[in-house]
């Protein structure tokens, strides 16, 4: 049985809603004011909340803010009931997180239609989330075991050989130590990216109380250049790197910008062939700062771009490749953390260009 919570100081409206909505599958719980409504929302975990705006003890806006601040009721569909239909009231309610508005007086049919439509949209959203979670679990199950077992096998096998071997020539010993270090580095990177993904998922945005840029890099050019060269040299692609990076204040942290460049370069060298150029551009724009990295590699299909997500690797069945597909998701979340965005342009067999647009460091932005 689903529960609908009605918060209204008007007894007629409460009785009207109960008679209109209550049935064997729906229970209607009522509250005479905002404070009691917030309490009942926490107690009953309603499927939907209907709330008046003008109430004496706590108005509808304050009630909505309180409900949205509680993690247990944050995502409950919320419909305002009001005798006022001024544009500023509607806008304020929507900005605070209201899902819909119903202006008094309303008919039984209007009330039922609004409630049914909002519940249906909420169920559809929950279904989308479940499908995304199921897909994420499948992707983890497909890629994680391989990414863990492969370097662990190298480390365990080489360590055991070195421990048991009596007459190992120096070049062989050094090669085995190198393979252990490479495998350990791969595991370390996997662990760091996974932990970063969890941190970003639980705290996606970074903004101070005034909504201004909490962290800035006055001159990002040297950091971008240094990180790009390090990744290219690590992949023995230093000669393929083409750099054109300008300076302008950018809103992010050195560690986060370094991670963005690292993951973009790693993708570029992994999915393009040696002796093909990898372009790295950085320049201020009207909206902020744009970092662009382009390769002439395998490319992506439009459907793959639309489904960029955590732990997703495209065409893994056709190509042997390392990683669990976290790179583009980390880049996206790091950009969004400071109110930026990522754009991917790609053509199969031609190459991929990734634009990362970041806020300028000297401009006040909207709060997260």
Whether residue 313 contacts residue 326, with contact meaning beta carbons closer than 8 Å, is answered with no
Give the tokens for residue 267: 């993708």
Nearest to 315 by CA among 143, 189, 137: 143
Give the containing element (helix H, strand E) for 233. helix 221-234
pLDDT of residue 323: 43
Q: How many CB atoms lie within 10 A of CB 193?
A: 20
Classify residue 239 by its DSSP letter.
G
User: CA-CA distance, 355 to 344, in Å (whole number)?
Assistant: 6
Q: Is 4 left (phi over 0), alpha (psi -120 to 50) or beta?
A: beta
The string of DSSP codes covering 160-218 is HHHHH-SS--HHHHHHHHHHHHHHHHHHHHHHHHHHHHHHHHHS-----TTSS-S--BS
Closest by Cα among 140, 137, 183, 188 to 159:
183
Residue 71: the pLDDT is: 80
Q: Look at strands 241-245 and 278-284 and give their pairing.
A: parallel
CA distance 14 to 5: 10
For residues 260 and 256, give the distance between their C-alpha atoms in angstroms, rounded to a whole number.
Answer: 6
Q: d(Cα 141, Cα 253) in Å, to the nearest integer?
A: 33
In whole angstroms, give the CA distance from residue 158 to residue 152: 10
Residue ranges in the chain modelled with pLDDT below 50: 207-211, 310-324, 363-368
**Max Cα distance, the chain (Å):** 93
Residue 190 and residue 18: Cα distance in Å, rounded?
Answer: 54
Fold of 2-106: Rossmann fold (3.40.50)
Euclidean distance between CA atoms 96 and 78, whole angstroms: 10
Question: What's phi and psi for 237, nearest 5 deg?
Answer: -125, 25
- Look up the pTM and report it: 0.56
Decide: 251 and 341 in contact? Cβ < 8 Å.
no
Cβ density class 146-158: b for 16+ within 10 Å, e for less: ebeeebeebbeeb
- 221-358: CATH topology is Heat Shock Protein 90 (3.30.565)
Strand 48-52 relative to strand 78-82: parallel, antiparallel, unpaired? parallel
- Which residues pair with residue 62 across a beta bridge? none
pLDDT of 208: 38
- Residue 209: cis peptide before it, omega within 30 degrees of 0: no
Alpha carbons 199 and 185: distance in angstroms, whole number: 21
């Amino acid at each position: 049985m689903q529960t609908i919570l009605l918060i209204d100081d008007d007894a007629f409206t409460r009785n009207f809603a109960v008679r209109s909505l209550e049935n064997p599958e729906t229970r209607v719980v009522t509250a005479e004011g905002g404070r009691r409504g917030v309490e009942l929302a926490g107690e009953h975990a309603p499927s939907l909340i209907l709330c008046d705006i003008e109430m004496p003890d706590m108005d509808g806006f304050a009630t909505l803010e309180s409900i949205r601040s509680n993690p247990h009721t944050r995502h409950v569909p919320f419909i305002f009931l009001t005798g006022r239909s001024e544009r500023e009231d509607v806008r304020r309610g929507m900005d605070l997180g209201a899902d819909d508005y119903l202006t008094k007086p309303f008919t039984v049919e209007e009330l039922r239609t609004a409630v049914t439509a909002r519940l249906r949209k909420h169920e559809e959203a929950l279904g989308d989330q479940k499908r995304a979670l199921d897909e994420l679990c499948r992707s983890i199950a497909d890629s994680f075991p391989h990414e863990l077992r492969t370097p662990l096998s190298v480390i365990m096998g080489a360590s055991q050989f070195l421990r048991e071997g009596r007459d190992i020539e120096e070049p062989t010993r050094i090669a085995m130590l190198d393979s252990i270090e490479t495998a350990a580095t791969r595991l370390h990177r996997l662990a760091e990216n996974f932990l970063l993904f969890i941190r970003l998922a639980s705290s996606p945005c970074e903004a101070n109380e005034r909504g201004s840029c909490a962290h800035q890099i006055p001159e990002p050019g040297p950091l971008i250049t240094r990180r790009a060269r390090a990744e290219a040299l690590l992949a023995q692609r230093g000669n393929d790197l083409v750099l054109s990076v300008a300076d302008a204040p950018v809103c992010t942290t050195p560690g986060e910008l370094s991670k963005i460049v690292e993951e973009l370069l790693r993708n570029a060298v992994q999915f393009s062939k040696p002796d093909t150029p990898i372009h790295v551009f950085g320049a201020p724009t009207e909206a902020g700062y744009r970092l662009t990295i382009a390769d002439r590699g395998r490319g992506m299909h439009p459907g793959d771009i639309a489904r960029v997500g955590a732990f997703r690797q495209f065409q893994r069945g056709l190509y042997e490749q390392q990683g669990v597909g976290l790179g583009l998701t980390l880049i996206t979340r790091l950009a969004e953390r400071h109110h930026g965005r990522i754009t991917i342009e790609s053509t199969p067999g031609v190459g991929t260009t990734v634009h990362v647009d970041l806020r300028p460091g000297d401009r006040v932005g909207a709060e997260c």
